[in-house]
């Protein structure tokens, strides 16, 4: 019924929330905070949930542990680094805190393709989705080295990781759609009030 043993879930809740003006993770969709929806979905697939946030008190109810950035001010890559540092398991499923329609089918697909790779990442509409991806602890030291050099643009760092021998498996759109037809919904980030309205409207008809 459940999941592959030995997978951690990491929810990135450390963003500045500038466009929304409030904590996106705590916005309600269908009567529940987005972070609660995500953590509930991840519970079916992971053995622990780690939330990366600099406001630990707000998120204590939604995961097993809340951790802060170890190298502050490095954006999402800093959050992935902090999460991977604290995970108990080798594999970690990373998700942002503002995608209310997270897909367990897609998450399962990432896990299924993890053998032999350090990172498994979707490519949707021509763009990489590094914040909804599977990371192996094996790439932690390389990520840390980049952060310490001041490199934190996530897609650029991933290009460099590949040059340094980190093995990345990209899941292309046809593979994604075979597992999850509703990709537009799954990759909807609630960044603005308009996005929030759109997400609430989708939730009403689900």
Give tens-digit pLDDT for 123-145.
999 999 999 999 999 999 999 99
Query: Distance between CA atoms of 21 and 82, rounded to whole angstroms?
Result: 24
Q: Which residue has the tokens 């597992």?
A: 179
Mean pLDDT of the chain: 92
Q: What 3-state DSSP class applies to 163? A: helix
Based on the structure, what is the number of domains in the chain? 1
In a domain, 2, yes or no: no
Cα dihedral 69/144/186/67 (nearest 10): -20
In a domain, 103, yes or no: yes
pLDDT in tens, 44-100: 899 999 999 988 888 999 999 999 999 999 999 999 999 999 999 999 999 999 999
User: pLDDT band at residue 206, thresholds of 50, 70 and 90?
Assistant: confident
Domain of residue 167: give its range.
Answer: 7-201
**In terms of Cα–Cα distance, which of 134, 96, 89, 109 is closest to 13?**
96
pLDDT grade for 2, boundaries at 50, 70 and 90: very low
Backbone angles phi, psi at 169, to 5 degrees: -110, 115
The answer to whether residue 181 is domain-embedded is: yes
pTM as predicted: 0.94
206 domain-assigned: no
User: What CATH number corresponds to the domain at position 67?
Assistant: 3.90.550.10
**CA atoms in the 13 A half-sphere facing the CB of 12:** 26
**Would residue 187 count as lying in a domain?**
yes
């Amino acid at each position: 019924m459940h999941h592959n043993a030995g997978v951690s879930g990491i929810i990135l809740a450390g963003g500045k929330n500038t466009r929304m003006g409030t904590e996106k993770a705590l916005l309600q969709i269908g009567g529940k905070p987005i972070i609660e929806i995500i953590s509930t979905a991840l519970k079916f697939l992971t053995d622990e949930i780690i939330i990366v946030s600099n406001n630990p008190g707000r998120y204590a109810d939604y995961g097993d542990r809340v951790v802060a950035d170890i190298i502050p001010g490095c954006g999402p890559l800093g959050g992935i680094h902090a999460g991977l540092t604290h995970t108990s398991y080798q594999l970690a499923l990373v998700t942002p805190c503002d995608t209310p329609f997270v897909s367990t089918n897609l998450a399962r697909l990432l896990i299924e393709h993890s053998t032999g790779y350090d990172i498994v990442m979707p490519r949707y509409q021509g763009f990489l989705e590094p914040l909804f991806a599977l990371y192996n602890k094996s790439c932690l030291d390389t990520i840390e080295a980049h952060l310490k050099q001041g490199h934190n643009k996530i897609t650029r760092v991933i290009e460099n990781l590949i040059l340094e021998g980190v093995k990345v498996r990209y899941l292309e759109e046809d593979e994604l759609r075979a597992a999850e037809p509703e990709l537009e919904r799954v990759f909807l980030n609630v960044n603005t009030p308009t996005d929030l309205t759109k997400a609430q409207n989708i939730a009403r008809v689900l």
